[in-house]
Amino acid sequence: MVPAWCAETVTGIVGENIAAQQRRATPLTITPEVSTVRARLLPAGPAPLASDGRLMSELAGVNYRVWVSSGRADMGVGLGALGHVVPPPFRRIEEPVALAGASPTLSVGLRYRVTSESAVYADASGAYGIGADPNANYLNTKVGMEWKPAKHGVGFERGAIGIHFDSGYRLSVKPRHGGLGLYLRGQF
């Protein structure tokens, strides 16, 4: 039997530790991100034309977003620019691309990491005055789920061909003394 004074002391210490952990706020993490945008615009009216009469239906731009993270949740707000890609003459890939009629964009994003390998996200961005109508709005929304790719289990290591298993073990085949050596490594 445990004396009453000992049980009360242990209960008090454990209770104080739990309360201290709950009072600690989850720190906010701020992460900047720069991304490029490439899309096609199918205008309802006449599409803008380049100086040589070709259609300009392709959009390109850049976006700067700041992500604020707390725990598993992230929220991002960004600014950028979006404009029509002026098609290069003779359609040569190595020529620089020019933008015409660039306008500012605003973007908002939310992410929630369900597990360490998957996340649910929602993104929205908008620009004003894209297209032939200067009062037209361009809106883009995305909702989805993303997964990290599986680890590549086959590879070369120290002159051997090996497989890395999810359990942490590695199986490798290596030439040894005129034959093949089969090795299984693990840590425990």
Question: Do 137 and 160 have their domain in common?
Answer: no
Residue 14 lies in a domain: no
Question: Do 139 and 106 have their domain in common?
Answer: yes
Question: Do 39 and 122 have their domain in common?
Answer: yes
Q: What is the pLDDT of residue 99?
A: 77
Question: Do 109 and 138 have their domain in common?
Answer: yes
Domain assignment of residue 94, given as a range: 29-147
Question: Do 90 and 166 have their domain in common?
Answer: no
In total, how many domains does the chain have?
2
Residue 68 pLDDT > 80: yes
Rounded average pLDDT over 60-64: 89
Tokens of 68: 């604020």
Question: Do 82 and 172 have their domain in common?
Answer: no
Residue 109 lies in a domain: yes
Residue 24 lies in a domain: no
Question: Do 160 and 139 have their domain in common?
Answer: no
Of the candidates 74, 83, 179, the residue with the CA atom closest to the CA atom of residue 127: 83
pLDDT in tens, 77-110: 999 998 877 766 666 666 667 777 788 999 999 9
- 28 with 64: CB under 8 angstroms? no
Cα 186 to Cα 188: distance, rounded to the nearest angstrom: 7
Residue 8 lies in a domain: no
Of the candidates 60, 66, 7, the residue with the CA atom closest to the CA atom of residue 31: 66
Of the candidates 116, 105, 113, the residue with the CA atom closest to the CA atom of residue 65: 105
Question: Do 57 and 143 have their domain in common?
Answer: yes
DSSP class per residue in 75-127: EEEEEEEEEEEEPPGGG-TTSPPEEEEEEEEEEEEEEEESSSSEEEEEEEEEE
Cα 7 to Cα 143: distance, rounded to the nearest angstrom: 52
Rounded average pLDDT over 3-19: 59
pLDDT in tens, 151-180: 667 777 777 888 887 777 888 888 888 888
pTM: 0.57
Q: What's the chain's average pLDDT?
A: 77
| pLDDT level of residue 59 (50, 70, 90 thresholds) | confident
- The DSSP bridge partners found for residue 108 are 77, 124
Residue 51 lies in a domain: yes
Percentage of the chain beyond pLDDT 70 is 68
